[in-house]
Chain A
Amino acid sequence: EVQLVQSGAEVKKPGESLKISCKGSGYNFAAYWIAWLRQMPGKGPEYMGIIYPGDSDTRYSPSFQGQVTMSADKSISTAYLQWSSLKTSDTAIYYCARHLTISGAWFFDFWGRGTPVTVSS
């Protein structure tokens, strides 16, 4: 069974750093792209970018380029999303999701449960 298990909720202050994780199981983690998506209350998901754990090839959405860093350690089937200096506007739920391509269709087939991040002074 494919599973993406994300790290727990975080409460941080503005300016602090943070690294959250997403551990895959039930499939060859290194062979599938993993995306990160942000969801703010009452809004649809926002695509932040995608990483290929096999070689750590990373593509950022222009909206998030320079704001976050994605990384992966294929030896432990884990992807990461990190901030060097959080802002209150980073408060949201962050999801990791497996990206799949089938017959020209591109989509996200399995999602983690999300990591709520609260940034408040």
Chain B
Amino acid sequence: EIVLTQSPGTLSLSPGERATLSCRASQSVSSGYSAWYQQKPGQAPRLLIYGTSTRATGIPDRFSGSGSGTDFTLNISRLEPEDFAVYYCQQYGSSRYTFGQGTKLEIK
């Protein structure tokens, strides 16, 4: 089973700043299987990025994804108040999907 480790666990930033969220896999994965989701309290996860770097429909261009092999990154260029939430990375391998434990992006 692929284990995903997200860092940092919590990120404290101010609106307008840039956020960089990391996701490290325990083994190399295909870039096609990498995705990122945003979850706000009491809501379902929302797809942000798939195939490592493709934004889902309706996702603002301040969100961008990159990476390969075992290291993947989600960047948010200029934080808006609505961006403060928990973010999860996702990978696929060994016949199952796995998710990271999440990075909580909080207002500083």
Contacts and interface: CB of A to CB of B under 8 A. Distances in A.
Interface residues of B, number: 26
Interface string B50-89: 1110101000000000000000000000000000000010
Given A45-B45, A111-B44, A112-B44, A105 B99 contact: no
A57 B20 CA distance: 39
Contacts of B43: 113
Interface string A78-113: 000000000000000001010010111111111111
B32 A105 contact: yes
A113 B44 contact: yes
Given A44-B88, A45-B99, 5 more contacts: A47-B96, A104-B51, A106-B32, A108-B45, A113-B44
Interface of B: 30, 32-33, 35, 37, 43-47, 50-52, 54, 56, 88, 90, 92, 95-102
10 contacts: A45-B99, A47-B98, A62-B95, A104-B51, A108-B45, A108-B47, A109-B50, A109-B56, A111-B44, A114-B44
